[in-house]
Homo-oligomer: A and B are copies of this chain.
Amino acid sequence: MLIKILGAAAGGGFPQWNCNAATSRAAWSNAAGVKPCTQSSLAISADGDRWILLNASPDIRQQIAATQALHPRAKGTLRNSPIQAVVLTNADVDHVAGLLSLRERHPLTLYGSSRVLDVLAANSIFNVLHPDHVTRRPLVLGEPNAIAHHGRDLGITVEPFGVPGKIALYLEDAAAGPGLGTREGDTIGLKVTATATGHAFYYLPACAAVDAGLRQRLRGSSLVFFDGTLFTDDELVKQGLSDKTGARMGHISMAGPDGAMAAFADLDVARRIFIHINTSNPAWIEGSPERREIEAAGWEIACDGMEVRL
């Protein structure tokens, strides 16, 4: 299985368009050891020929341009793309807005939880993905879903499972209530398995906490892409960028006793890669104390163009 990191950054990308705090400023000024990144998305393929996107970020056009494996095939038909399917993990803008760029009457199969597909159905702008061309399939939670397109199996299954999380920000008002209106399917993690080899990895770009169920699930796995939004829970507050903590936004922090690095310390996960990294996170800066702490704990920081073969 081939895995390409199309975008490593959280919503807004790195640097975020209106952010002038220290880490973003380093990116705006092209400081050494700082690499701008686009918004969170992976491309995966069992055969190197047909590709599945995990989330469709607003930067998708730029990401396709930068990734030759996703260009139309020169020997293919007048309209063709190696992208056959898209799997969504939530309805956040940074994960669904790219769908609007996958138009032009192109056949695709789109997978998401019923909750996420309902959000798309309620926003008529997503009708640019016309049902004549784009089939929307609800993911069954807790079971392996074979990803297929036009009846052809793509050699990959995804098992979606609910994780502690939060409803998309722009839906909060409409679904106010306990847990910020969050219901099953609002935020999911994926276990992604290559059917032929059985090789598998986990993809959790948003996760509010590593609870007992998640610990059990991830233990001993070979590769996890995990929510690296914030280094510390109060990072945005301390930097003066927002009054929201990571907990309020549905994102665990990397560091600290309740953070991801501590939670994974005894889980025996062979390769741990932080993804969905916010513009405020000092982990972006090579050589920073935070980056060194992350690397010392055996974690990697994703970047655009990174590839993993499993």
A-side interface residues toward B, CB under 8 Å? 11-13, 16-21, 24-25, 28-29, 36, 38-39, 58-62, 64-65, 71-74, 76-81, 83, 93, 96-97, 100-106, 119, 122-125, 127-128, 169-171, 173-174, 239-242
Taking a contact as CB atoms closer than 8 A, the residue among B12, B79, B128 that contacts A103 in the complex is B12
- A–B pairs, 6, beta carbons within 8 Å: A16-B104, A18-B104, A58-B97, A78-B241, A97-B125, A124-B171
Could you say which residues of chain B place their CB within 8 Å of the CB of A21? 78
Taking a contact as CB atoms closer than 8 A, the residue among B13, B17, B104, B123 that contacts A17 in the complex is B104
Give min CB distance, A43 to chain B, whole Å. Answer: 13
Contact B74 A20 (CB under 8 A): yes
Contact A24 B72 (CB under 8 A): yes
Closest chain B residue, CB of each to CB of A71 = B28
Give min CB distance, A53 to chain B, whole Å. Answer: 11
Contact A12 B58 (CB under 8 A): no
- In the assembled complex, the Cα of A254 lies from the Cα of B239 at a distance in Å of 52
Could you say which residues of chain B place their CB within 8 Å of the CB of A102? 17
Taking a contact as CB atoms closer than 8 A, the residue among B59, B78, B242 that contacts A62 in the complex is B59
Contact B80 A18 (CB under 8 A): yes
Could you say which residues of chain B place their CB within 8 Å of the CB of A106? 18
Contact A20 B93 (CB under 8 A): no
Could you say which residues of chain B place their CB within 8 Å of the CB of A239? 78
Give min CB distance, A55 to chain B, whole Å. Answer: 14
Contact B93 A128 (CB under 8 A): yes
Closest chain B residue, CB of each to CB of A106 = B18
* A61-B17 contact in complex given A125-B125, A169-B128, C-beta closer than 8 Å: yes
Contact B81 A17 (CB under 8 A): yes
Could you say which residues of chain B place their CB within 8 Å of the CB of A76? 20
Could you say which residues of chain B place their CB within 8 Å of the CB of A96? 125
- In the assembled complex, the Cα of A119 lies from the Cα of B59 at a distance in Å of 23
Contact A20 B72 (CB under 8 A): yes
Could you say which residues of chain B place their CB within 8 Å of the CB of A16? 104
